[in-house]
Structure 1
């Protein structure tokens, strides 16, 4: 169970690393407030992208525009005197509006007619004036009209400003400097309108404002994209209907001159306020977020109209308010998109090398980003403000993190690849466009192949896990040596290695380095065997064959699966040369020696008839290399043979490749050396004469023929022997038999001095 869980964790490790990391980073950025302006800007774009809403005919704005200011100024009536304002109010009252909102400060008398204005204030029960409650460094509080204050028909026209100077929130009420709650201008007017229609306005048990069945969510400082925003008073997010074009407008001069269309304001809410640029009652809103044009500001009276329309539309038309998720829901939403980004890239990390496929991760992230933006927009249409920027950042961030992890993994793979190839070879294959192109070229290279002697027999006696452990240890050492001598490992074939010198990069000393590498590999077997014997496994021996020839080398395969390798009969010849070796030997072809003979130490040569080759070939046994390498193999300890006090009966069969001959021959082991033995057989019974380099499988009859030993593997030597005898070199000896041989050798040394058996 636990292993399965670990396997799953490893399989999706990139996702488990990237997604939480990207999400944590975005969480930190968001909590620090660095993403607030981006999130608010995204909200503004949703307002701009939303389809136009119909005009709210319940609200009429009597505006004081720039033309009105010019006309009144020419008549000497600017600022607008109280007498003319009283006349405006009287003209509006004649059409019996539901409520009149005066968005003009009148805490002090202005011009003539103040008394008539006060009388209008007192005689108009549905009239609401304004006062500024909050104070700041840039502005101070403004008192309400005294007459309206006495009648409690004054509302606060304050709006909370965001850090970018925009108005995105309105107030239901706020506390003045005395701690008393003052209802907002918009709420007071909406209350009058709804009361005329017997709509209940009050509070819930949680003291939330309620109109009809609609409860207004109280804004908190960290709602939506806000971080530690000012949240004094009862604030709500404004679901803007639109700019001023979504409300009916009439100029104050038209009202003064009684050019009001019939029943224009009957039963409606009338707002009176300035819209002229020169009067500086203009504010930035979400509709100011234009990209190609200069930002446009919205008049304060229009913002009040939007706040009133929000209350009326939510209560009477079921128009949604803007609500936000809880923090837990937002965090889960953000983390979800972090997972999506990580999964999309991780699942396509093996998308292939085709151009279209390589673009799939980018296309998938773009589509995911569009889905995120689309889902956020649809949620906004439904009245929900959900995060856009943080999940988008986690989507991209986790994708980048996975990409970086994959790149780091690729770097690790390249580093691992570099254990078997030099940096130059890796660069040629991975960074050169032609290096990965399918096809080959004919070139002269030196081929080295190595193989462990008798490893198949060892593998049969060990578990698969133990075999892999030994192979990895052996190949690790050999790969390090091959890399040191700038060889290209073409293939691992079980316990065999195929190495190229001169491909893909040709050097003048390819053959020399191949010889030096072979000697170094044989010397590296000493530390390999030390570790293997410490692990309780039998000692290993290796044979190496080297050949220099022209072959076809290049990328072989298809676009999906490619192997860098060589083709040619000279490859097979190299394997044949290696097959003549016993443990610890290096054989090189004539062509290789021709290029390196000046510094190569040759300790013997022989002419052999290789299988598949018409003419006999000459191969040379290498004992070392001089010059800058100065590497030498140890002297052969297998020249001294000891006469056994009593011959050991045995049986043997001939091996042809991996196949075992059916013929079983009996004989005796009569002499032993450090690594070999002399075998005697009866030629009257056995007419088969074994050729040098023949591979044998032997079994000894131990302890008076009572016990048959495990399989022993050996190779017939060229060493001359008396009739009915031949010499063998052991390639694999079981530990039990090795122990018995060592005991025999030790006993023989104490009986007689050592003499070479030539």
Structure 2
């Protein structure tokens, strides 16, 4: 049990180390306040991206715009005198609004008509004035209109400002310097409207403000993306309406001159305030956070309208308030995305080295990031402000950290092992603590072995440097093909390759991939030969054998030197099957054909008696594979030309590397591009050569019948005239090949 736990911990070590570390680092950044502005900016963008909302018809703004200021100033009526203000209020009262909010300071008389203004203050119970309560280095408190203060019809018009100067919060009440709670201007007006609608406004048992069934979450200094923000008084986040304009507006001149549409104010909350640039009652809000245009400020009276609309909409329309998670929930959320980022990269660390596969981790992170954006946005539409910047940072940071961890701890190992093993084997060794222990397991795999025909004899005519150069070109090209088909290169044996399909990782298509790989290897020989012939070296040919069987695979060797390999009699059988091939051929066992099925293109079926096997076996010559692979060998028709004169020769049977001492005589009577027909006198050479017999030959070419260099060939399974047989050259010296080429004269 404990060993299994340790194994799991080791396999997931990158995630277990990275996710908590990155999460703690980001949480420290957040606690320091460095991420606050980014988080607030992200919140602003969600406001801007939200679908448009309808205009709130319950609120009407009587605005003092720049044009109004100019007109009033020309007549000597600016600042707006008390007499004109009383007339404006009287015109509004005539339509019986539910509440009137005067967002103009009137702590002192202005111009003439002050008595009439006081009178209308005293006779309008649904009129609310303003006072500025908070004092700081930049501003001082402003007293309320005395007449309204006396009858308790005053509200605070203070707004908490964030570090970037934006208004994102409103007040329900705050304490003045005497410790007395003063309700906000917006809340007082909303209270008057809700009271007319017979909706209760009060407090819960834990002293939270409640209107109807809506409870207003009390803002605390570290809510949402804030860090140690000012939280004096009863603050709430403003859920601004996304509409422009959000409220119906009318000029104060139109109201003064009584050019008011019928019933415009009836039953509505009417706000009177400045929107003129010169009066400087303008603030930055989330709506100011445009990317492509200059930021625009919002008039204070409009912000009050949004705060009132929020209360009315939440109470009457079930429009959500903006709520935040508790800190433990936020921490888990941030850690979750750190975990996702680390897992996405960790799981794909051995996805492959191709350019397309190398993009998978980046694409995964991008998709995860888009998912985070989508979830945060949907949550915002439902009224939840959940962290966005910290989880995005942990997502990306974890991905980068895991990438760096892999690069540092496994990069060198993978680079070294990758020269010999596939990514799957490397992953098995790196991910499993048991992976390097000695021992093996019995499993069914497909074995592929390849060998160059006659390369040993060719290499004797080349220098050591040339041999290495040729073999490296060949093995490099073949290794790329084998890796493409997810084969495990178990061993390079000179010019031979042993490849495993199904070890260490078993897949359902191991046998099919082995055949597809073999066909691709034979097709790739064209590129190999093009390269080496350009360098002046002779053309190479390769034979491939494939067998599917149960063998023992695992780590073989000692504590000092270990090799991942395969053992068993079936490995030897694969070598036997490959030994029957000539250049360009692929022979597979019957068991492999059963695994692959009808998609394998079979050119021929032969029955052979393999050395070391008691019963004859069937081998199948493969011409290609259909299905998803769609690979086929190009077979050219072989034409044998009758020689004008027979070429005498001698031959001996090869048994492995040993040459039989018995030398037989014969004549070369026909010749093709790759083979020949040999005729022999049965009375002199009574031995009948079975197909696939390997031969060493020497020709007697004129003048003076010299014996040529050694030539190697294999007896073909091809019907010939009596006392003759066909051979396929496996190695022929260039000089002899040239002489034979000159001897070919087709019959007319």
Determine if the TM-score, normalized by the shorter chain, exceeds 0.5.
yes
Q: Which residue of 1 aligns with 2:371?
A: 371
- Give aligned pairs, total: 467
Inter-partner Cα distance in structure 2 for 1:243 and 1:398: 39
Contact 2:171–2:235 (CA under 8 A) maintained in structure 1: yes
Moved runs in structure 1, 4+ residues, more than 3 A?
414-418, 467-471, 508-511, 547-553, 560-571, 613-616
Separation in 1 of the partners of 2:328 and 2:205? Answer: 25
2:475 alignment counterpart: 554
Aligned-partner Cα distance in 2 for 1:407–1:610: 51
Q: 1:539-618 counterparts in 2 under 5 A?
A: 551=471, 553-555=474-476, 556-557=478-479, 558=481, 559-561=484-486, 563=489, 565=492, 567-568=494-495, 612-614=657-659
Show the counterpart of 1:38: 38
Q: Would the alpha carbon gap of residues 568 and 223 (structure 1) be closer, same or farther in structure 2, given more than 3 Å must change?
A: closer
Question: Displacement of 1:355 after TM fit?
Answer: 2.5
- For residue 80 of structure 1, what is the aligned residue in structure 2? 80
For 2:264, the equivalent position in structure 1 comes to 264
Q: For residue 595 of structure 1, what is the aligned residue in structure 2?
A: none
Partners of 1:470 and 1:364 in 2: how far apart? 37
Aligned partners of 1:340 and 1:395 also within 8 Å: yes
Q: Return 74-83 or 239-248, whichever deviates more.
A: 239-248
Give 5+ residue unaligned stretches, structure 2: 424-433, 441-462, 499-653, 662-748
Contact 1:81-1:113 within 8 A present in 2 as well: yes
Three-state SS of the structure 1 residue aligned to 2:62 is: strand
Structure 1 distance, partners of 2:338, 2:147, is 59
Contact 2:52 2:243 in 1 (8 A): no
Deviation (angstroms), 1:155: 0.2
* 3-state secondary structure, aligned to 1:407: helix
Unaligned runs of 5+ residues in structure 1 are: 431-464, 472-507, 512-546, 572-608, 617-758
Asked if the contact 1:554/1:566 (under 8 Å) is kept, the reply is: no
Relative to the length of structure 2, the TM-score reads 0.59
Deviations 1:45-83 (A, max 9, x none): 000000111111100000000110011011111111111
Deviation readout 1:187-227 (Å, 9 max, x if unpaired): 00000001111110010100000000100000000000001
Name 1:63's counterpart in structure 2: 63
With over 3 angstroms needed to count, the CA separation of the structure-2 counterparts of 1:176 and 1:470, relative to structure 1, is: closer
Once the 2 structures are TM-superposed, how far is the Cα of residue 398 of structure 1 from its aligned partner?
A: 0.7
Q: Within 1, Cα distance between the matches of 2:32 and 2:341?
A: 23
CA distance in 2: counterparts of 1:221 and 1:70, whole angstroms:
43
Structure 1 partner of 2:52? 52
Match for residue 218 of structure 1? 218
The 2-side partners of 1:364 and 1:41 are apart by 25
1:332-368 residue CA offsets vs partner (Å, 9 max, x unmatched): 1111111111111111112122332221111111111
Q: Which residue in 2 is equivalent to 1:278? A: 278
Matched, 1:409 2:409: yes
Q: 1:549/1:386 Cα in 2 relative to 1: closer, same or farther (>3 Å)?
A: closer
| Stretch of structure 1 that moved more, 281-290 or 401-410 | 401-410
CA distance in 2 between partners of 1:402 and 1:570 (Å): 35
- Residue matched to 1:440: none
Cα distance in 2 for residues equivalent to 1:116 and 1:69: 22
After superposition, residues 95-494 of structure 1 pair within 5 angstroms as: 95-242=95-242, 245-413=245-413
Deviation at 1:408, TM superposition (A): 1.3
CA distance in 2 between partners of 1:570 and 1:192 (Å): 90
Aligned-partner Cα distance in 1 for 2:495–2:80: 105
Alignment check: 8 A CA contact 2:174 2:183 kept = yes
Report the Cα distance in structure 1 between the residues aligned to 2:377 and 2:366, rounded to whole angstroms. Answer: 16
Larger Rg: 1 or 2? 1
In the TM superposition, residue 244 of structure 1 has moved relative to its aligned partner by 5.5
Contact 2:50–2:242 (CA under 8 A) maintained in structure 1: no
**Deviation of residue 565 (structure 1)?**
4.1
TM-score, normalization: structure 1?
0.58
- Are 2:155 and 2:184, in contact at CA under 8 Å, matched by a contact in 1? yes
The SS at the match of 1:333 is helix
Change (3 A) 1:219 1:614: same
The CA RMSD over aligned residues, in Å, is 3.0
The 8 Å contact of residues 26 and 393 in structure 1, kept in 2 or not, is answered as yes
Pick closer, same or farther for the CA change 1:243–1:300 going to 2, 3 Å. farther
Q: Quote the Cα distance in structure 1 between the aligned partners of 2:437 and 2:196.
A: 90
Confirm or deny: 8 A CA contact 1:551 1:570 kept in the other structure: no
Work out the CA distance in 1 between the residues paired with 2:496 and 2:329: 69
Give the deviation of 1:296 after TM superposition: 0.4
In structure 2, what is the Cα distance between the partners aligned to 1:56 and 1:469? Answer: 77
Tell me, yes or no, if the aligned pair for 2:66 and 2:275 is still in contact at 8 Å: yes
CA distance in 1, matches of 2:278, 2:103: 16
Deviation at 1:568, TM superposition (A): 3.6
In structure 2, do the counterparts of structure 1 residues 74 and 509 end up closer, same or farther at CA, with 3 Å as the change threshold?
same
2:635 is matched with none
Structure 2 contact 66–277 (Cα < 8 Å) conserved:
yes
The answer to whether the 8 Å contact 1:342/1:398 transfers is yes
